[in-house]
């Protein structure tokens, strides 16, 4: 039985599927969660106090997210990992980490145990995005740390071809070690393949980061949609209610929802899913929507077009173009046959191309090959 040290970060919602998948393939896992340093967490809570506990935690997490690119934070997490590697590194066959926010050890070039990285984005790719730059660029020191991590890995599993090109072009990772390993749909079991209806009026948005996900652009577009389809409805789930001051008729703000059955009910009620992101590495929410046979309307940024196929499983527009977005939404809502056709194709695409079983199987084969050759670049 091969043994893996799994370095888990809370930023990666895919960890559960990865861990379960590897265990099903016969791996013995030692799991270590890599947290934000305790002092940063205390400071975040102190500076973002809210009377509602859920709002308090959310505000603190958002505040911490602004600083995840700092070299000092990268190295603090690395020191935490180094302790774990010193305890377990000699007893495992490979180290596997989620996201690129730290290294297993500071002296990465001297690490004897082969290690791999699973991530969906790079700092350089994020900093080149002309539509979404909420924070200052990561900077040379951050780029160099990330480059050391990537170039010394036995393999970097990346969730889309767009980010894979950044690994090769921006970081000098050899093409054979930059491996596309797509996200699977976030289900233990896909919804059943049943015919569904479309009411021609209900639009669904699900996303916590309302601004980055294009929420305000969608609200502007919806006002135009209502001029064409007065009965149209927009359901917004994900952002905290207190954070949005929207009073438009036809818009329902549900806040954060943890109940998966309730989320499923929203997908079943909607006619289409719309999330016109300004930056989007590999949003699993599109896979969720497609699994419920919803056509998706989004933007042609980052890796989105590798999930939402324009004209096949949905429609794409340029970011920040509310007028074009409204036009695409109206065209779909008025064409039930097209919504059904796109929904059926999207469901089939999820089943064939976006399953965790397929992704884990491909990674398992690569990891076992690395172990067999003790592959390190």
290-316: pLDDT as tens digits: 999 999 999 999 989 999 999 999 999
User: What would the two tokens of residue 273 be?
Assistant: 């899913």
- Supply the pLDDT for residue 11: 56
- Residues with Cβ < 8 Å from 184, sequence gap 6 or more? 14, 17, 287, 354, 355, 356, 357, 358, 359
DSSP classification of residue 197: -
Q: How many CB atoms lie within 10 A of CB 5?
A: 24
| Token representation of residue 71 | 């070299």
Domain boundaries, the chain: 3-184+355-373, 202-353
| Predicted confidence (pLDDT) at residue 67 exceeds the cutoff of 70 | no
Q: How would you list the strands of the sheet with 178-180, edge to edge? A: 28-34, 3-9, 94-98, 115-119, 155-158, 178-180
Over 60: is that where the pLDDT of 265 sits? yes
Closest CA to 183 of 288, 319, 65: 288
What does the mean pLDDT of the chain come to? 91
Point out the least confidently predicted range of 213-217, 262-266, 270-274, 370-374: 370-374
One fold for 3-184+355-373 and 202-353: yes
Rounded to whole angstroms, the Cα distance separating 286 from 273 reads 8
Q: Confidence band (pLDDT; 50, 70, 90) for 376? A: low
For residue 12, the model assigns a pLDDT of 55
Q: Which residue would you say has higher pLDDT here, 229 or 256?
A: 229
Q: Answer whether 89's CB lies under 8 Å from 6's CB.
A: no
pTM exceeding 0.75: yes
pLDDT at 158 over 80: yes
Q: Are 13 and 99 in contact (CB under 8 A)?
A: no
Give per-residue pLDDT as tens, 176-207.
999 999 999 999 889 999 999 999 999 999 99
- What pLDDT was estimated at residue 273? 98
C-alpha distances (whole Å) from 26 to each of 2, 7, 242, 360 are 7, 18, 46, 11
Task: Report the CATH superfamily, name and number, of domain 3-184+355-373.
Answer: Glycogen Phosphorylase B; (3.40.50.2000)
Predicted pLDDT of residue 375: 53
Locate 127 and state its tokens: 């900093």
Q: Among 59-63, 130-134, 272-276, whose mean pLDDT is lowest?
A: 59-63
Return d(Cα 216, Cα 50) in angstroms, integer.
Answer: 24
Whether the pLDDT of residue 58 is over 90: the answer is no
The pLDDT value given to residue 282: 79
At the fourth CATH level, the homologous superfamily of domain 202-353 is: Glycogen Phosphorylase B; (3.40.50.2000)
Q: How much is the pLDDT for 202?
A: 98
- Has residue 66 got a pLDDT over 90? no
State residue 308's pLDDT score.
96
Mean pLDDT of 233-241: 90
* Nearest-10 crossing angle of helices 71-88, 140-151: 30
Confidence of residue 136 (pLDDT cuts 50, 70, 90): low
Question: Helix 140-151 to helix 161-171 angle, to the nearest 10 degrees?
Answer: 100
What DSSP element (H or E) covers 94? strand 94-98
């Amino acid at each position: 039985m091969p043994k893996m040290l799994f370095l888990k970060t809370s930023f990666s919602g895919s960890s559960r599927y990865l861990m379960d998948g590897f265990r099903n393939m016969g791996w013995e896992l030692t799991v270590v969660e890599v947290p934000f340093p305790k002092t940063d967490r205390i400071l975040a809570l102190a500076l973002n106090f809210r009377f509602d506990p859920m709002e308090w935690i959310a505000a603190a997490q958002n505040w911490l997210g602004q600083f995840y690119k700092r070299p000092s934070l990268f190295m603090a997490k690395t020191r935490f990992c180094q302790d774990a590697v010193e305890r377990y590194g000699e007893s495992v066959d490979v180290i596997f980490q989620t996201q690129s926010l730290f290294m297993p050890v500071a002296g990465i070039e001297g690490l004897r145990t082969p290690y791999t990285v699973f991530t969906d984005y790079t700092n350089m790719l994020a900093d080149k995005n002309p539509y979404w730059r909420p924070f200052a660029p990561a900077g040379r020191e951050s780029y160099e740390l990330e480059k050391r991590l990537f170039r010394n890995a036995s393999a970097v599993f990346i969730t889309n071809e767009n980010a894979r090109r950044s690994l090769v072009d921006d970081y000098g990772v050899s093409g054979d070690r930059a491996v596309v390993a797509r996200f699977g749909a976030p289900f233990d079991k896909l919804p059943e393949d049943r015919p569904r209806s479309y009411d021609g009026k209900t639009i669904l948005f699900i996303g916590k980061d309302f601004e980055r996900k294009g929420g305000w652009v969608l609200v502007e577009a919806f006002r135009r949609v209502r001029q064409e389809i007065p009965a149209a409805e927009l359901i917004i789930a994900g952002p905290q209610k207190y954070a949005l001051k929207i009073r438009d008729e036809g818009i329902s703000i549900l806040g954060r929802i943890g109940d998966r059955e309730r989320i499923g009910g929203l997908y079943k009620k909607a006619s289409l899913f719309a999330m016109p992101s300004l930056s989007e590495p590999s949003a699993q929410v599109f896979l969720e929507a497609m699994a419920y046979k919803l056509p998706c309307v989004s933007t042609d940024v980052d890796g989105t077009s590798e999930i939402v196929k324009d004209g096949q499983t949905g429609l794409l527009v340029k970011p920040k173009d509310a007028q074009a977005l409204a036009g695409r939404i109206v065209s779909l809502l008025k064409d039930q046959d097209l919504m059904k056709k796109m929904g059926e194709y999207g469901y089939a695409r999820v089943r064939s191309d976006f399953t965790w079983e397929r992704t884990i199987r491909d990674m398992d084969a690569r990891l076992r090959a690395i172990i067999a050759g003790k592959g390190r670049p």
